[in-house]
Chain A
Amino acid sequence: MSNILLVDPDYSSRFPPLGLLKIATFHKAKGDSVTYTRGKDPDLKGLFWHRVYIASLFTYELPKTVDTIKFYLPAVADSSDILVGGIAATLMPEYIKSQIDCTVITGPLDRPNILGGDSKPVDSLTPDYKIIDNPRFDYRPRDAYFCKLTRGCIRKCPFCAVPKLEPTFSDCKPLAAQVKQAAAVNGERRDIVFMDNNVLAAESFSNSLNVLCELGFQKGARQNRRERIVDFNQGIDARLIDRKMAKQLSKICLSPVRLALDYDGMIEPYQKAIYHMYDAGFDEFTNYVMFNYNDDPASFYRRLKLNIQLSNDLEIRVSGFPMRYAPVDDVSRKFIAPNWHWKLLRGIQCVLLVTKGLVSPNAEFFYRAFGHSLEEFLEIMSMPERFIIHREHFEEIGETFEWKAKYDKLTSSGRTNLLSTLHELNQTRDKKSLIQASGPLKPILWHYYPGGNVPKYEDYKPPKKSRNHSKTTSKTRTVQSRTR
């Protein structure tokens, strides 16, 4: 019998890695002893492991994933005893192999013998939630079943990783069996989270809704006096929502509704879907809004504003969840789409930093944070970072207005120049020389780099109330996170 270590690298991710939890079940059934950890744990590295499994998720976190693999290398007899799998490993196995010698498993664990020695398809096993029942890990939601009705997607959107990860659209194990087995192994859970990419496209979906009701997830359901929640976490396809579907969905305790408004072409079906869902009684939406792909800042602002208008018109809450696009083979997260500017993306990131990634449906908030018009949106996003993060403070002390006076004087091409120069400045170490050489932009550039330096923490002079500090890295979620 063997000692097995499961490692989820410590990049920021909210959901437990289900693959690892299924592998835990697989090894426990064999009589092996299993240990689970997040990130690099020196105590565990000091022990000997018969196998170490390492999960991967975002490709832009592959450097961190590889770093984690290297860390645990001394803890196994042979580098092949480290097994790396998951989404990023499936998308870019060569990247890992070129950096380190280990076993890379691509694709889902849906075939037998992937883990050696007559192993069953691990994908069909019940995840072992107990192993992550440790306050140190902080996975959310804590009290939920994680299920999947389907693999793959009927669409082949060019920006999405799903067609590469799960090329064929197919059914998984029946829902009732999944929930009953998970409850038997791990105890009953309050909520249920579906990780499907396009669950509405499943032929058996209306049956699954009935099963959900039978399992106690009907509308208004409670467990121990607390409301139960059904969450189709990766969103549902607006194009598949008609009056009938909306009515069917209203039978279960679905909250919130998650749709996607990825590009302008989706506006019409998106609006229709919201009307249908509204008619069926839904009033809470959290919708993914992709940017930095084929769109431009105008389209992004238009789509965010549409949510505010819908919220106002129907008196419902439609929150936006901006998702910054990153190519599926990007390991740096620095991609800038042709119609976008580095500074604008950075500005959006600063706003979302304060709002924890979410764009509130509150009109007053929205217009203050993103502006009343496209022009104002561009102006806000062009501001120095500290002015965006601490809007009140810098407006009070007048610095924002000094900056604005200079910004207003710039012509449209001057503003484009400003954005490009700011990108260049971000990349160079010798900021002073570049500012000196930038002619008419010089006066405004000093606001971004006082004295030619990157503003220090003191320069931000955050008001006492604020606890956020701009040094925190980006919390913007990317499209990839939806493929989880």
Chain B
Amino acid sequence: MIAQPKIGAYVLETLTTGMYTDALDSVREYIQNSGDAIRKAEKAGIIAPGEGRVDLYLDEETRTLRIRDNGVGISTELFLSSMLNIGMSEKRIDEDAGFRGIGRLAGMAYCGRLYFRSKAQGEKKVSVVSFECKTLREECQPKSQRTNELAHVLGNQCKASTEEAPSGEHFFEVVLEDLSEAAADFLLPKALEKYLGDVAPVDFDPMRFIYAKQIVDWAEKYDFSMPRIKVFIHSQNNCREVFKHFRSKYNTRQANKQVHDVHIKGICFHPSEVNGGPKYWIWYSKSDLLGMIDDDSAGLRIRKNNIALGGPEQVAALFAKIAKSNSRFNGYFIGEIHILSNDVVPNARRDALESNPEWRAIEEDLMKFVKARCDDVRQTSDARNKPTAKVVASAQTVTTDVQEHVEVGVASPTEKATLQQKVKTEIEKIEKLDVDSRQDEERSKLETAKKALEDVLEQLQSPDSYAIGKVSTSLDRKQKSILRDVLEIIRQTLSTESCSNNDNCYKRLKSAIVEGLNTRSLHKKSDE
């Protein structure tokens, strides 16, 4: 060996502040470690499946966040080395979510003092180690003149001790004391819940999302892993359990001043038929695809070990590969892509996957799925648009036809009823199309057509609409009755044969009769 390499303290800054885009990502790191510890405890039979829980205690007064799990804990023997070594995790990539051995440092960037406390079952002592993070951060800043070795600096700023405790307990606890301004969200229950509901491996809320059981059952049926833990946020004696944010009903985003309801009508799975061991599986929503869902839980997202890897933008990027404008189609769905393959590795920030051949192969495969979803959106939209045009055209024809009859005058109550029925049928056809859920342009067309029908129906209902009323000459009751009968006979005769010309003939005859009578009456008057 030529020389012993040394690692400078600056590296610590890269591994903490430099590592994550969102301060809350450091909380995710601890939850992920808790998840792994709970899994181990379940396997060892220390806790029953489903009993594992992570409790987050917020104390605004002391600006402290405490994260405690009832996982397997760390034995006194291994505790110090586990807590002090960096990048030397003994976790296995095929079993655990974390494996790099750096996530534990994440909190250092945000607090004055960081404690790790743990106890394995059966042991009598709690092992504790604390770090003076403020001083550590100062020493790790590039502007500090001295370049100290990382191990040396860390060693100087940490203190180890033990505490007595009842032997039944087993836990791991992280305490972030004196949180900085940058970590304000750590003390806001709402912000914390929003973040963890998106990211943490928690359950669906079955009361809010009725398909929760169906998804869990499906994954279990094929033995697909979807590890879940319970996460609780405690603040001022209040407590809330964190669930994934999915729900059964959403709204679309406002587009052209329109907001539509989105009912999740079912869940689809991909691959629909499972053969062999797939590298991933997907659940996604079935809905009317009326637009982009207006919610933070909208858009398919990728998860590994049930922990989110970035947000919906990762999958939106795949949609954009087909056509740039298709990127928005991801927001028409809710769903999750669960990566099963152990050859696919999350990047160190956990906001995407390492671009290795395995991931590239999955990505290629995923493109087929994405393409199919784009087609779904387009086809549904086309299908919605087609009948609209037909219905509108038919409504317009009827409106014009009835309008002409009204102008000439209807012959008899029978004819009136027939025409009324015709108009009503058209109105019903429009109503059946669920106008409110349509996009703006369609909606306005349908509404105009319906309004025209309603107007003509009103005209038809007026007593002035009878042809007899349009004859200006004064006819007595008998004459009126005869005229009505004549017109009705003509109408019936012509309407027996289904020919559009006949209807025109009838209109012309009716019009001629009324006009003829009116002209004659004028002549009569002028003669007098």
Contact = CB atoms under 8 A, between A and B. Distances in A.
Interface stretch (A29-37, A63-71, A170-178, A294-302): A29-37
A143 to B, nearest CB: 16
* Contact-residue size bin, chain A (C-beta under 8 Å from the other chain): 20 to 34
A77 interface: yes
B233 to A, nearest CB: 8
B230 A1 contact: yes
Nearest to B241: A33
Contacts of B241: 1-3, 33
A130 interface: yes
Interface in B325-382: none
A77 B239 contact: no
B123 interface: no
Contacts of A43: 190
B207 A133 contact: no
Given A1-B230, A46-B190, A47-B193, A35 B208 contact: no
Given A2-B207, A50-B207, A33 B240 contact: yes
A35 B190 contact: no
Contact of A133 (B208, B237, B247): B237
Interface in B223-255: 230, 232, 236-241, 247
Secondary structure dominating the interface of B: mixed
* Contact-residue size bin, chain B (C-beta under 8 Å from the other chain): 10 to 19
A280 interface: no
Contacts of B230: 1
Contact of B237 (A1, A2, A50, A131): A131
Interface string B261-278: 000000000000000000
Contacts of A131: 237-238
Nearest to A133: B237
A186 to B, nearest CB: 11
Nearest to B190: A43
A460 interface: no
B415 interface: no
Given A43-B190, A46-B190, A47-B193, A34 B238 contact: yes
Contact of A35 (B205, B207, B240, B247): B240
Most buried by A among B208, B232, B239: B239
Interface in A354-393: none
Nearest to A76: B207
A48 B205 contact: yes
Nearest to B248: A77
A47 B240 contact: yes
A2 B205 CA distance: 9
Given A2-B207, A33-B232, A77-B208, A47 B190 contact: yes
Interface of A: 1-3, 33-37, 43, 46-48, 50, 77, 130-134, 136
Interface of B: 190, 193, 205, 207-208, 230, 232, 236-241, 247
12 contacts: A2-B207, A2-B241, A33-B239, A33-B240, A34-B238, A36-B237, A36-B238, A46-B190, A47-B240, A77-B207, A130-B237, A136-B236
Given A37-B238, A48-B205, A131-B238, 19 more contacts: A2-B207, A2-B241, A3-B240, A3-B241, A33-B232, A33-B239, A34-B238, A34-B239, A35-B238, A35-B239, A35-B240, A36-B237, A43-B190, A47-B190, A50-B207, A130-B237, A131-B237, A132-B237, A133-B237
List 3 tightest A-B contacts by C-beta distance, closest first: A35-B238, A33-B239, A33-B241
